[in-house]
Amino acid sequence: ALAHTPHDAVFDVALSSSYPRDRIVFALVRGCVFRSEDGGASWQRLIQGLDHKHTLFSLDVADEGRTLFLASLGDGVYRSTDGGDSWSKVNHGLETLNVDGGLIARGAPDVVLASGATGGLFLTRNGGGSWGRLDGPVGKGTGRGLLPHSDDGLLGGGQDGGLQPPEGPGATWRTLRPAGGGGG
């Protein structure tokens, strides 16, 4: 059944930060997580700790491929600290288990932003140990518009097209405008 993996129905792809050296790449294919340690020439299916009851939707990687966060539509967020060999759910304080996106802050693998599939943006600063809601002008589908920013910050797309950097759970967002005063 997986004879065509991973070149069909690919949901997401994430590279190790040291990809040119270690050639590690991860892929979400047909609801399964795969890892390649040879630039995609061969693939290993990663299953330990994943219950496969709900759609795995997005994946992000840090620490040269060691720390990964996986968003799912129904199981919330999974975390791996061993390169995907094992996974655990990290949903304490997360208001929804329907998560359609997530992003690890560059240089800070314990700082993660996750977006609810029907709205809401959530932040953890302790690797998923606890989550808090970020208040502000963000809406459905924000997860696909997340970007790393600085060593421990993240940027998310807002409803008006601007970018708002979250300061922490419960903090307000500040709209950033392009140079020249354009509207987004």
Q: Which of 160, 107, 158, 110 is nearest to 134 (CA)?
A: 158
Question: What Cα–Cα distance (Å) separates residue 40 from each residue in 36, 96, 155?
Answer: 5, 33, 30
At 33-66, the pLDDT tens digits run 999 999 999 999 999 999 878 889 899 998 888 9
pLDDT: which is higher, 59 or 142: 59
pLDDT per residue over 4-20, tens digit each?
555 567 888 999 989 99
- One-letter identity of residue 50: L
**How far is the C-alpha of 20 from the C-alpha of 100, rounded, in Å?**
28
pTM for the predicted model, two decimal places: 0.77
Per-residue burial over 113-146, b = 16 or more CB atoms within 10 Å of its CB, e = otherwise: bbbbbeebbbbbbebbeebbbbebebeeebbebb
Residue % of the chain over a pLDDT of 90 = 41
Q: Can you give the pLDDT at residue 162?
A: 43
Tokens of 157: 């797309």
Percent of the chain exceeding pLDDT 70 equals 68
